[in-house]
Amino acid sequence: MTTNPVARNQPTSLSDTGLDAVTGAFSYSGKAISSALINSGRLVRTLTGHPNRAVERSPIEIRPLDFEDQIGLVGSLEGVTTLYNTYWVRFAHNRIDHDLAVENSRTLFQAAKRAGVQRIVHVSITHPSVDSPLPYFRGKALVERSLAETAVSYAVLRPAILFGGDGVLLNNIAWLLRRLPVFAIGGRGDYRIRGIHVDDLAQLCLKRGAERYDSVVDAVGPERPTFIELVNSIKDAVESRSLIVHLPGDALLILSRLVGMALGDVLLTRDEYRAMADGLADTDGPATGSIALSDWLVNHRSELGVTYANELKRHFDVASDQ
């Protein structure tokens, strides 16, 4: 659901330093946002826990994303006009969980305020709720609340799932369909998925970053297939002969965990399955992205799922840093 902008008692035009900051500019959505900013002529600074992922001669200025160093965070955000925040954790791992991610986000927002950042564009999730039984969605709602309480001009973008670029979800579905004789779906698979291309999300971020009123908008594409339709579309795209079977949700989660252990990764969390089955990956509002998922699948069939994308290695540096 898209909410109407909220006017603020503040100037309509603020000084622009020409410098923006992106958390995780070498990660998935952060990379797309940074590229869009650079292509638009902006200077970009990133706060990252993975500085070694920078490409040679990158125009992005690198600062550490150290939530235990509030003074350092403030210093890293000084001179920044807009902060684009993609920081979050998909699942709990070691000492990092959703509660800590909420606290870290609050620390980041307060540092931005102290540094004089003029606007924060925050990437959230569809249907966050402080009353949600799902820690992921409850945590996302608490982060949005913290942002609103910061008293810095803000925009919240709420995607359901992302596709395009080097995204994990659709790629790994394709990888499994290419290699396994059977692919399991939880329940009937009639729950809908409203994805947005990562480049559409980036452009929406820039558009909202240029505004000066508070707003919350769903970041969703033009198509909303059911999950079974999506899986079959991927299957057709990669010319898989895998048999699609339906399992009860609990059985699917056990199977996903076993396959994940074999791959050294987390394929599907209980929160993720429950959210999809409950319709939280779908919205009824207008599309805010233009790239059709079905077209993208056809255009990228040759590379989709050729290699496996390991979430643990990408975000937690397990075994190696990619």
The string of pLDDT tens digits covering residues 58-80 is 899 999 999 999 999 999 999 99
Q: Top-level CATH class of 169-192+223-316? A: alpha beta
Q: Which residues have a Cβ under 8 Å from the Cβ of 71 and sit 6 or more positions away?
A: none
| Residue 314, pLDDT score | 74
Closest CA to 80 of 42, 48, 50: 42
Helix (H) or strand (E) holding 38: helix 28-39
pTM of the model as a whole: 0.91
Domain range summary for the chain, segments of one domain joined by +: 3-164+194-219, 169-192+223-316
Residue 317 confidence class, pLDDT cut points 50, 70, 90 = low
Q: What percent of the chain has pLDDT over 90?
A: 83
The CATH number of 3-164+194-219, from 3.90.1150.10, 2.40.10.10, 3.40.1160.10, 3.40.50.720, is 3.40.50.720
Give the SS3 label for residue 259: helix
Cα atoms in the 13 Å half-sphere on the side-chain side of 260 = 14
Q: pLDDT tens digit string along 41-55?
A: 999 999 988 777 766
Single-letter amino acid code for the residue at 115: A
Closest CA to 265 of 314, 214, 212, 228: 314
Q: pLDDT tens digit string along 107-119?
A: 999 999 999 999 9
Q: Helix and strand tally (H, E) in the chain?
A: 11, 12
Domains 3-164+194-219 and 169-192+223-316 agree in fold? no
**Distance, CA of 80 to CA of 109 (rounded, Å):** 13
CB 275 within 8 A of CB 322: no
> Does the pLDDT at position 92 exceed 90?
no
